[in-house]
Amino acid sequence: MDSMAAIMPSRQRAFILRHTLPRRPPHTPELRLYLAGELMPLWRLTAEERGGGDVPPPFWAFAWAGGLAIARFLLDHPAEVAGKRVLDLAAGSGLCAIAAMRAGAASALAADIDPFCAGAVALNAQANGVSMAFTGRDLLDADPPDIDLILAGDVCYEQAPAARMLAWLRLAHARGIRVLIGDPGRTYFPRQGLTLLAEYRVPTTRELEDSEVKWAGVFTFPD
Name which of 7, 77, 106 is nearest 218 in CA terms.
77
One-letter amino acid for residue 129 of the chain: G
Q: What amino acid occupies position 161?
A: P
Interacting residues of 198 by C-beta distance below 8 A, sequence separation 6+:
69, 72, 73, 77, 217, 218
Q: Is a pLDDT exceeding 60 seen at residue 7?
A: no
User: CA nearest 35: which of 211, 182, 180, 204?
Assistant: 204
With beta carbons less than 8 A apart as the criterion, state whether 202 and 218 touch. no
Mean pLDDT of the chain: 92
Residues in CB range of 107: below 8 A, 6 or more apart: 85, 86, 132, 133
User: What are the angstrom distances between the C-alpha of 162 and each of 3, 13, 18, 109?
Assistant: 27, 30, 32, 21
Q: Tell whether the model's pLDDT for residue 4 goes beyond 70.
A: no
Dump pLDDT digits (tens) for 64-120. Answer: 999 999 999 999 999 999 999 999 999 999 999 999 999 999 999 999 999 899 999
Is 207's pLDDT higher than 80? no
| pLDDT single digits (tens) 34-47 | 999 999 999 999 99
CB 65 within 8 A of CB 211: no
Domain ranges of the chain: 10-220
What is the structure's pLDDT at 12?
A: 85
Closest CA to 193 of 220, 218, 167: 220
Give the pLDDT score at 111.
Answer: 97
In this predicted structure, what is the pLDDT of residue 209?
A: 78
Q: What average pLDDT does the segment 156-165 reach?
A: 93
Q: How many helices (DSSP H) and strands (DSSP E) are in the chain?
A: 6, 9
Q: How confident is the model at residue 15 (pLDDT cuts 50, 70, 90)?
A: very high
* C-alpha distance from residue 17 to each of 10, 61, 62, 177 (Å): 10, 11, 14, 36
Phi-psi region of 3 (alpha: psi -120 to 50; beta: other; left: phi over 0): beta
Question: What CATH class does 10-220 carry?
Answer: alpha beta
Cβ–Cβ < 8 Å for 109, 172: no
Quickly state the pLDDT bin for 8 (edges 50, 70, 90).
low
Burial of 175 (0-12, 13-18, 19+ CB in 10 A): exposed
Distance CA 116, CA 136 (A): 10
